[in-house]
Each structure stands twice: as structure tokens, then as C-alpha cells.
Structure 1
Amino acid sequence: MNQALIRKVQQMQKEMEQTQREIENTVFHGSIAGVVKVEVMGNRELVTVNIDPHFEINDEDDREVLNDAIVASCNQAYEEIDKVTEEKMGKYQALLGGMGGMF
């Protein structure tokens, strides 16, 4: 393998690592009907759950609605992480795939 190609691959690896760090340090948000708001880091660490203080739990149905809203808000944030990761990291996968059996 020639030196220019090796340097190109090494540079691409550095860029991939930097992009991954940027994603991991980004805060993603999820919210369902304003009742629940969550913040999740790009490394999928849940850092904040905020529940509307005006949301009243009067019975088991209300509790179930709240539980569902928390899960849905988290899933919304995780889907956004997946989308951004695919957008930013996908180009590297395409480039590496084009190199076939070189590695």
C-alpha cells in the first residue's frame, strides 16, 4: 500500500474519531406533548428528565400515561441520535466500503 493512501486512511480515522466525540458530547432532546422533556447525550446517557409540574396523577391511568410519555420522549431522543450518527458517520462507512478487501 502506498504512503499517500496510508496517510489518507489515517486522516480519515482521525476525522471519524473527532466526529464520534462530537456526537457523544451533543445533547439531544425528546419531548411528548410538553408533559415530559428529556435530555440525552450522544453516548446515550440520559441526563435530564423534566415532568410538567402541572401534570396531575389522579389515578393509575394517569401514571401509565406519564410512564409512556417518559419512554416515548427517550425513544425520540435516541432516534435523533441514530439519525445524526448515520448522517455524520455514514460517509465514512461508504468510503471504507469502497476500499474493498484492502484492510
Structure 2
Amino acid sequence: MGLNDILRQAQIMQKKMTQMQEDLKTRTVEASSGGGMVTVTASGAREILSLSIDPAVVDPQDVDMLQDLILAAVNEALKKATQMAEEEMGQLTGGMKIPGMF
């Protein structure tokens, strides 16, 4: 395999990675906490797209619980988005870990 072949493969890989990153922006994951009382939707690019809170969980006397439910749902959604991105990257790279990619 010559240098030109290596460079061509690197260019193809770069194009595929760019396309995958664009694709991840359009894909979503959802996570909830409190038995569905708080639901968060995130993109594969790890951006929070929506947050839904059941009015029944809104209690001015217990704001701490609502904050905990929101944090739990957001963190789970971001975790799922990261896992989705890592799985896509793994398919692209054949399972090889590339530092700094995800």
C-alpha cells in the first residue's frame, strides 16, 4: 500500500466522519426520570432539544426534587447520545478508538 493509497483512504474516512457527525445532529435519544415525570430529548450531537415536565411534579415546597429529576433525565439523555455517537464511530473505524473523537 503506497502513500497515495493511504492518503486516499484518509480522505474517504474524513468524508465519512463528517457525514456521520451531520447525521448524528438529526438523530435523537430520549431519557426520563421519576417514572416519566421529567423527559429530555437530546440529539446525537449531545444537544438538549426538549424538556418536558409533568405539572404534577411541580411542587413549590420541593424544588430540590424537581431539580434532581431534571438533572437525572438530562444526564441520562446525554449518556445515551454519547453511546449512540460512539457506536456510530465504532462502525466507521472498525472498533478502533481514535483519541479526541468522542
After TM superposition, the score normalised by the length of structure 2 is 0.77
Q: SS at the partner of 1:94? A: coil
CA radius of gyration, larger in? 1
More helix by share: 1
* Number of matched pairs: 95
Q: SS at the partner of 1:57? A: coil
2:63 corresponding residue in structure 1: 63
1:77 corresponding residue in structure 2: 77
After superposition, the Cα gap between the structure-2 partners of 1:45 and 1:4, relative to the gap in structure 1 and judged at 3 Å, is: same
Identity between Structure 1 and Structure 2 (%) = 31
Deviations 1:41-93 (A, max 9, x none): 2222222111112324152xx32111100000000001001111111113527
Instruction: Structure 2: give runs of 5+ residues left out of the alignment.
Output: none
After superposition, the Cα gap between the structure-2 partners of 1:68 and 1:76, relative to the gap in structure 1 and judged at 3 Å, is: same
Aligned partners of 1:30, 1:79: CA distance in 2, in Å? 9
Letter in 2 for 1:35: M
Instruction: Structure 1: give runs of 5+ residues left out of the alignment.
Output: 98-103
Q: Which runs of 4+ in 1 moved over 3 A?
A: none
CA RMSD, 1 decimal: 2.3
